[in-house]
Amino acid sequence: MSYVIKLNSKIEMNKIYIVIILFFSLSDCVRKGLPEVRIVTSFGDIIVEVDTARAPITANNFLNLVEKGIYKEATFYRVVRSDNQPDNNIKIEVIQGGLFDDEKIEKYPPITHETTEQTGIQHLDGVISMARYTPGTASTDFFICIGDQPELDYSGKRNPDGQGFAAFGRVVKGMDVVREIQLLPDSNQYLKQQVIIRKAEIVRQP
C-alpha cells in the first residue's frame, strides 16, 4: 500500500511539473508576441518591450505616437537620483523623456490612467511608465525606472493621490545607456545638456 501511495505522489508531482513548464512556455509565447520599440539616442539604443496585453490603453498610445514619429528629436531631459531630490522624503530613481515643452505635449490628447493595480505591471528595474500631473493627464512623456520603485505603484507614496503611474513595458536591452544618462550633470534634476532622441521605431510587431 505504501508503494502505491509513493507512486501516486510521484505521478502527481510529475503533473505539477508539467503544469509549471506549460505555464512558463505560454508566458514566453505571450512575451514573444509583444511589440518592441527601439529608442535611438546619442548615447546608444534602448529597446523597450511594450506590454499591449496588460496595459492596452497606455501601450497602444505609445505605439501610435512612435508610428507618428513624434519622438524624432525628442529628448531625455530629466534625471532623478538619490542625491538630487533633497526635498522629497520618498526617493525615486528614473530618467524622463519626451517632448518636454508643455505646448507641444498639449497637442496630443491625454489618456485614461491605467493603474498598476489594474495591469499588474509594477515599477521594477527597467520598467517604462507614463509621466503625468493628475490621473488622466498623461499623453506623450515617459520615464524609465533605475532599480525597483514601489512608491510609484498604485497606493505608493511618491504621488499624494495614491494612484501611482501607468507602467506599460520594460527595457529588454540598453539599461547601460539608461544608467549612463542618469549620471549626466543636472541642475535641479533637469539635464544641463539634454540627450537627443534621434528616433523611436517599432522593430517588432506582435
The helix/strand/coil state of 64 is helix
Same domain, 1 and 102: no
Distance separating alpha carbons of residues 161 and 157, to the nearest angstrom:
8
pTM confidence score = 0.84
Confidence band for 205, pLDDT divided at 50, 70 and 90: confident
**pLDDT tens for each residue of 104-123:** 999 999 999 999 999 999 99
CA distances from 14 to 9, 10, 22, 25, 109 (A): 9, 6, 12, 16, 52
**pLDDT tens for each residue of 132-178:** 999 999 999 999 999 999 999 999 999 999 999 999 999 999 999 99
Number of domains in the chain: 2
Q: Which domain holds residue 24?
A: 1-32
Same domain, 39 and 25: no
The CATH number of whichever domain residue 86 belongs to comes to: 2.40.100.10
Question: What is the widest separation between alpha-carbon atoms in the chain?
Answer: 78
Cα 19 to its chain centre, rounded Å, is 29
Question: Of 42, 78, 30, 82, whose CA–CA distance to 191 is shortest?
Answer: 78
Task: Judge contact between 150 and 156, C-beta under 8 A.
Answer: yes
Same domain, 136 and 163: yes
Nine-digit cell at 32?
514573444
